[in-house]
């Protein structure tokens, strides 16, 4: 799926690199399992977003049921940290997570112009 971030401010903003992504139980919940692994097959680029413009990154999810040693946990969605930001965004989308931190269900690409 494509993860889109839109500049809702009045000034341009810069997206540079990878967002942090993990599964979480809910909007205030802690991460569940391993965070997204970076897909470095495309080089990171600075994406300057004017107000109203979006940048996208490819987010891949592998079903938890594919791993026999996965301890399945319900996740309420994805916690996303934009590059170089400490505030997170919660994207509600119920799915299954693995509580085992050794199993990487998520892969994230670098931001590109949308």
Mapping DSSP onto H, E and C, the string for 14-39 reads: EEECCCEEEEECCCCCCEECCCCEEC
Quick check: 85 and 29 in contact, CB under 8 A? no
Angle at 41 between CA 20 and CA 63, to 5 degrees: 60
- Per-residue confidence (pLDDT) for residue 98, from 0 to 100: 95
**Residue with token string 């996208």:** 56
- Per-residue confidence (pLDDT) for residue 87, from 0 to 100: 92
Q: Which is it for strands 106-108 and 54-61: parallel, antiparallel or unpaired?
A: antiparallel
**Residue with token string 């299954």:** 96
- Per-residue confidence (pLDDT) for residue 29, from 0 to 100: 87
Residues of the chain with pLDDT under 50: none
* pTM confidence score: 0.90
- Per-residue confidence (pLDDT) for residue 51, from 0 to 100: 97
């Amino acid at each position: 799926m494509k993860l889109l971030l839109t500049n809702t401010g009045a000034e341009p903003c810069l997206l540079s690199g990878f967002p942090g992504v993990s599964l979480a139980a809910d909007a205030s919940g802690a991460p569940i399992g391993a965070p997204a692994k970076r897909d470095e097959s495309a080089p990171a680029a600075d994406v300057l977003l004017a107000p109203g413009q979006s940048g996208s990154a490819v987010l891949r999810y592998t079903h938890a049921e594919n791993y026999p040693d996965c301890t399945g946990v319900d996740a309420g969605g994805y916690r996303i940290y934009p590059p170089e930001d400490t505030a997170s965004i919660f994207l509600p989308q119920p799915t299954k997570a693995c509580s085992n931190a050794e199993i990487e269900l998520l892969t994230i690409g670098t931001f590109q112009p949308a």
